[in-house]
Structure 1
Amino acid sequence: MTIIDYLQIPYRHQGRDTKGADCFGLIRIFYEQELGLLLPDFTEDYTQEWWKEKNYFIDLYRQWNFAQTSERKRGNVILFKNTNSTPGHVGVILNDESFLHMSREGCETHSYTYGVWARQIHSVYRHVGE
Structure 2
Amino acid sequence: MHWSGGYLGLPFVALGRDRVGLDCYGLVRLVLAEERGVALPSLTEAYASMEERAEIAAALSGISAQSPWTPVARGSEQPFDIAMFSVFGRPLHLGIVVQPGLMLHVSDGHDSRIEDYRGAVWSRRLIAIYRHEALCPSS
Amino acid of the residue matched to residue 74 of structure 1?
P
Q: Does 1:88 align with 2:89?
A: no
Which 5+ residue runs of structure 1 have no aligned equivalent?
A: none
Q: In the alignment, which of 78, 84, 103 is matched to residue 73 of structure 1? A: 78
**Separation in structure 2 between the aligned mates of residue 83 and residue 29 of structure 1, nearest angstrom:** 25
Cα distance in 2, alignment partners of residues 75 and 33 from structure 1? 11
Letter matched to residue 49 of structure 1: E
Letter matched to residue 113 of structure 1: R
Q: CA deviation at 1:127?
A: 0.6
Task: Mark the runs of 5 or more structure 2 residues left unpaired by the alignment.
Answer: 135-139
Cα RMSD between the aligned structures? 2.0
Matched with 1:98 is: 102
| 1:52 CA displacement | 2.7
**Alignment CA distance shift 1:66-1:45 (3 Å):** closer
The answer on whether the counterparts of 2:4 and 2:98 sit within 8 Å (CA) in structure 1 is no
Q: What is the alpha-carbon distance in structure 2 between the residues aligned to residue 43 and residue 81 of structure 1?
A: 20
1:44 aligns with 2:14: no
Q: Cα 1:95–1:25, aligned 2, differ >3 Å: closer, same or farther?
A: same
Separation in structure 1 between the aligned mates of residue 21 and residue 44 of structure 2, nearest angstrom: 19
Task: Write out aligned runs for 1:1-130 (5 A).
Answer: 2-42=3-43, 44-46=45-47, 47-53=49-55, 54-63=57-66, 65-70=68-73, 71-84=76-89, 86-103=90-107, 104-129=109-134
Identical-residue share of aligned pairs (%): 28
Q: Give the deviation of 1:43 after TM superposition.
A: 5.6
Aligned partner of 2:123: which letter? A
| CA distance in 1 between partners of 2:30 and 2:111 (Å) | 14
Structure 1 residue 3, shift from structure 2 partner:
2.4
TM-score (norm 2): 0.83
TM-score (norm 1): 0.88
Change (3 A) 1:73 1:38: same
